[in-house]
């Protein structure tokens, strides 16, 4: 039975939440593999909007097993609040399990994130959720895993080992007081009790489900260009949103990944700092922002908007091994007379067709555009490929040829039913 990975192909906020919820209708297991509550995934069912940060976007289906994998960093308070938020909305989140190997975002990680960001001359524009410092500690072997929190004595012992160094760092960054073992124990332990029954070896659970023929959907957060290896370093997040991250972040062998769906907007957005070749600063950018409601789900920051960048999409197809693309928010272009697609960059007189590794090069890249006629029609009621006007089909065909993988889904609105299936992954 197929194992499908949903991966962001741009700078995040591509509509992964919507696609995951849509595909989850056919899945038995939905698993988040990296990131933390820097993510904001929006799901719209009928007229109800659900904003998820940590819990997989399959949670709205009562019989679907949802997994927070070992690659995720978990803020326990946020997790408890999100569980409560779902219950208040009438969703039963009892199908959620959490990896005992996942790392915990501690209060000092959030402080370090904020202090480091404010001290940076070249700001990254982090979400301030403690993501980077939590992953630094994971890799530096000073992390606190979920399994370390379950027993209070063990938790205290682990803190005694790691806290002195954290306090030195905090002091150097100008933090007034640092933290004590007692205050952190009181703070964190109250969130441990409610989640304890959900904690398990999730890699094993996924493998057993897979062997029993379950359909498994892996949900990425962020996007390819925010990947710590493949993104616009240093303007990236601290994890691996690319498809390989699904294998590491869930404890699933790489040969088990069957389909990799790259989720991409019909244009491009970015939140936070860093180069963005097709960014539109004038009125067209404003049109996309307003029509696409491009304001961050997590921080509310206005998103930077620009034209579709096929250099990026081709790069995402390569580093993720995309077997299909989902083109999202096509309806946002409904009233755009001429739609531009960047097919290459011009850099100091030469033409680049491959995405550069150096952000200083990227900053100087000028997009080379191909102009396509818009359809100037409302697409939000389209349900099949045939419902799309010729110009929209021509646009999708052009993207497909540029990206080099088939367009398998098209989204024409935020709701579940506003999704056109060209070739299903399950
Ligand atoms: P994610 O982080 O990749 O899950 O994306 P976000 O949820 O942060 O941002 C995507 C936004 O676009 C959300 O507000 C979705 O409700 C919305 N959305 C998703 N697909 C479509 C679409 O096809 N059309 C429109 N108009 N909105 C969409
Ligand atoms: P979803 O899953 C868009 C960006 C931040 C910042 C950079 C580093 O909703 O697509 P971090 O707090 O992770 O250290 O910030 O990454 N960023 C996102 N941008 N969507 C996201 O998640 C993001 N998560 C982080 O704005 O530029
Ligand atoms: Mg988002």
In the chain, domain spans? 3-98+201-259, 103-195, 265-421
Asked whether the beta carbons of 13 and 269 are under 8 A apart, the reply is yes
Question: Is any atom of ligand 1 closer than 6 Å to the C-beta of 410?
Answer: no
Is residue 14 predicted with pLDDT exceeding 70? yes
* 153 CA from centroid of ligand 3 (Å): 37
Q: Strand runs (DSSP E) across 18-140, as ranges?
A: 29-32, 41-45, 48-52, 65-68, 73-74, 96-99, 103-104
Q: Is 3.40.50.10860 the CATH number for 265-421? A: no
Summarize the confidence of residues 369-397 as an average pLDDT.
98
CA 269 to ligand 2 centroid distance, Å? 12
Contact criterion met (CB below 8 Å) for 275 and 23: no
Ligand 2 binding pocket (C-beta < 6 A) is 8, 11-13, 35, 38-41, 124-127, 129, 131-132, 221-223, 226, 237-238, 271-272, 297
Give me the pLDDT at residue 152, please.
98
Q: Which class in CATH covers the domain with range 103-195?
A: mainly alpha
Q: Work out the pLDDT band at 297, boundaries 50, 70, 90.
A: confident
Give the model's pLDDT for residue 299: 80
Does the fold of domain 265-421 match that of domain 103-195?
no
Structure-token pair, residue 123: 């700001």
- Report whether pLDDT(265) > 80: yes
Determine whether the shortest distance from the Cβ of 231 to ligand 1 is under 6 A: no
CA-CA distances (angstroms) from residue 83 to 55, 149, 221, 230, 408? 8, 19, 19, 33, 33
Predicted local confidence at residue 1, as pLDDT: 65
**Residue 117, pLDDT above cutoff 80:** yes
Say how many Å lie between the CA of residue 78 and the centre of ligand 2. Answer: 17
State yes or no: pLDDT of 390 exceeds 70.
Answer: yes
pLDDT given at position 296? 85
d(CA 50, CA 41): 8
Q: How confident is the model at residue 260 (pLDDT cuts 50, 70, 90)?
A: very high
- Over the stretch 197-207, which tens digit does the pLDDT of each residue have? 999 999 999 99
Say yes or no: CB of residue 412 within 6 Å of ligand 1. Answer: yes
Q: What is the CATH number of domain 3-98+201-259?
A: 3.40.440.10
Residues contacting residue 335 through CB under 8 Å, at least 6 positions apart: 287, 291, 374, 376
pLDDT, tens digit, 9 for 90 and up, residues 119-154: 999 999 999 999 999 999 999 999 999 999 999 999
The string of pLDDT tens digits covering residues 18-42 is 999 999 999 999 999 999 999 999 9
Q: How far is the CA of 40 from the centre of ligand 3 (A)?
A: 4
- For ligand 1, is residue 227 a contact (CB within 6 Å)? no
DSSP sequence for 219-253: E--S-GGG-TTTSSTTSS-SS--STHHHHHHHT--
Residue closest by Cα to atom 8 of ligand 1 = 13
Query: Is residue 45 in contact with ligand 1, taking CB distance under 6 Å?
Result: no
Q: Does residue 219's CB lie within 6 angstroms of at least one atom of ligand 1?
A: no
Q: Is the pLDDT of residue 191 over 70?
A: yes
CA distance 122 to 29: 40
Counting residues of the chain whose pLDDT is more than 90, the rounded percentage is 97
Please say if the pLDDT value at position 268 is more than 90.
yes
Confidence of residue 237 (pLDDT cuts 50, 70, 90): very high
Which ligand approaches the C-alpha of residue 267 most closely?
Answer: 1
- Which residue, by CA, sits nearest to atom 25 of ligand 1? 413
Averaged confidence pLDDT in the chain: 97
């Amino acid at each position: 039975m197929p194992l499908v990975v949903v991966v962001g192909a741009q700078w995040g906020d591509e509509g992964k939440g919507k696609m995951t919820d849509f595909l989850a209708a056919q899945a038995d297991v939905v698993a988040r593999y990296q990131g933390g509550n820097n993510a904001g995934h929006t799901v719209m069912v009928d007229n109800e909007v659900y904003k998820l940060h940590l819990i997989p976007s399959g949670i709205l289906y009562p019989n679907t097993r949802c997994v927070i994998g070992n690659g995720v960093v978990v803020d326990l308070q946020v997790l408890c609040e999100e569980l409560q938020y779902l219950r208040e909305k009438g969703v039963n989140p009892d199908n959620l399990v959490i990896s005992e190997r996942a790392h915990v975002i501690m209060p000092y990680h959030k402080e370090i994130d904020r202090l480091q960001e404010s001290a940076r001359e070249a700001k990254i524009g982090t979400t301030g959720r403690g993501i980077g410092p939590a992953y630094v500690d994971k890799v530096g072997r000073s992390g606190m895993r979920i399994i370390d929190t379950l027993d209070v004595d063990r938790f205290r012992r682990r803190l005694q080992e790691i806290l002195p160094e954290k306090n030195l760092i905090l002091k150097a960054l100008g933090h007034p007081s640092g933290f004590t073992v007692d205050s952190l124990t009181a703070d964190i332990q109250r969130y441990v009790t409610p989640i304890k029954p959900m904690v398990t070896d999730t890699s094993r659970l996924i493998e057993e489900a897979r062997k029993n023929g379950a359909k498994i959907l892996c949900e990425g957060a962020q996007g390819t260009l925010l990947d710590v290896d493949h993104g616009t370093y240093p303007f990236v997040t601290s994890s691996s949103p690319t498809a390989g991250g699904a294998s590491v972040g869930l404890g699933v062998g790489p040969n088990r990944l069957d389909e990799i769906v790259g989720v991409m907007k019909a244009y491009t957005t970015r939140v936070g700092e860093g180069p963005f070749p097709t960014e539109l600063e004038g009125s067209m950018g404003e049109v996309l922002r307003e029509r696409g409601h491009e304001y961050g789900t997590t921080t509310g920051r206005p998103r930077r908007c620009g034209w579709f960048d096929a250099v990026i999409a081709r790069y995402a197809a390569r580093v993720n091994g995309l077997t299909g693309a989902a083109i999202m928010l096509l309806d946002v272009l409904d009233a755009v007379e001429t739609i531009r697609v960047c097919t290459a960059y011009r850099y100091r007189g030469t033409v680049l067709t491959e995405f550069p590794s150096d952000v200083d090069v990227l900053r100087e890249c000028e997009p080379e555009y191909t102009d396509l006629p818009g359809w100037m029609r409302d697409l939000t009621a389209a349900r099949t490929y045939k419902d799309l006007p010729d110009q929209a089909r021509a646009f999708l065909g052009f993207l497909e040829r540029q990206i080099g993988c088939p367009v398998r889904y098209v989204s024409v609105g935020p709701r579940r039913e506003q999704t056109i299936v060209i070739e299903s992954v399950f």
